[in-house]
Structure 1
Amino acid sequence: MSRATIEAYYAAFNAANPEGMMACLTDDIEHRVNEGGIRRGMEKFAEFCSHMGVSYREELKDMEIFVNEAGTRGAAEFTVHGEYLQTDPGLPEAKGQKYILPAGAFFDLRDGKISRVTTFYNLNDWIAQVSA
């Protein structure tokens, strides 16, 4: 079930379906963003998805998912293939730049849903790619 939940979460991500992603989460989701703060709850997660949908178009490829035997923790490694659509405050100007970025995420799982997702990627690598 836990592997299927993470697979469904990322399938919804690749389909640009934030509602599908949120269906995989607990109401008290803890979303830890790369080099950012912690967003708690569905409302904050929905705000993040809305912002990302405007600023970026991304597809995750080369997905590898790992889940512990108890089904309470998981991880995923993937490659982000993206396009920078609208300038994100504090970051370089968006001009439709394309980027390819290795990334990963860690999960806590509870009752068949994701209760924590922590995402990691190299921000300096991304900045270099969109600034070139």
Structure 2
Amino acid sequence: MGILRVMTDDTAKLIRAYYAAFNADDAAGMLALLTDDVRHDINEGGTETGQAAFRAFLARMDEHYRERAEDVTVMVSGDGTRAAAEFTIHGTYLKTDGDLPAAAGQTYALPVGAFFEIRGGKIARVTNYYNLADWSRQVGAGTAGA
């Protein structure tokens, strides 16, 4: 039981470090926590594989959004190989992203669920879920999120 406890503690620390790097706008710090072949499942989108794809995703996000994860709660499976996080993302829509509503500095706040697979002490999969329709309502109406 002691070894499992260490594994779950290590996984919880890994996920917290991931969000600390996210909140610090530290892309290199985030990438250092990922496996080389990390799988990234994008909300209502496709799946990308590898650190190069994740780096490009982060760069695109930085161009269009400024975000911070708050009230992060981390849950870890008994063997430490899976984790989930629940949090609220607070953001500002900086620049229009593709065919999404026009950006004009709108703020938003959304509940997010994230799921992770852990391999060799690093994150091997990141899957995020949030309500895109709610986000669109918040930024489309030009009103501030809570």
In 1, Cα distance between the equivalents of 2:12 and 2:120? 13
Q: Normalization by structure 1: what TM-score?
A: 0.99
Question: Structure 2: 5+ residue runs without aligned partners?
Answer: 1-9, 142-146
**Superposition RMSD on alpha carbons, in Å?**
0.5
In 1, Cα distance between the equivalents of 2:37 and 2:71? 29
3-state secondary structure, aligned to 1:78: strand
Q: 2:46 aligned to 37, 40, 46, which one?
A: 37
Task: Give the total of aligned pairs.
Answer: 132
The residue that corresponds to 2:6 in the other structure is none
Question: Structure 1: 5+ residue runs without aligned partners?
Answer: none
Name the aligned partner's letter for residue 116 of structure 1. R
The residue that corresponds to 2:77 in the other structure is 68
The residue that corresponds to 2:140 in the other structure is 131
**Matched-pair identity in %:** 54
What whole-Å deviation, never above 9, does each CA across 1:64-123 have from its counterpart, x for those lacking one?
Answer: 000111110000000010000010001000000000111110000011100000000000
Does structure 1 residue 79 correspond to structure 2 residue 88? Answer: yes
Does structure 1 residue 21 correspond to structure 2 residue 30? Answer: yes
Answer 1 or 2: which has greater strand percent. Answer: 1
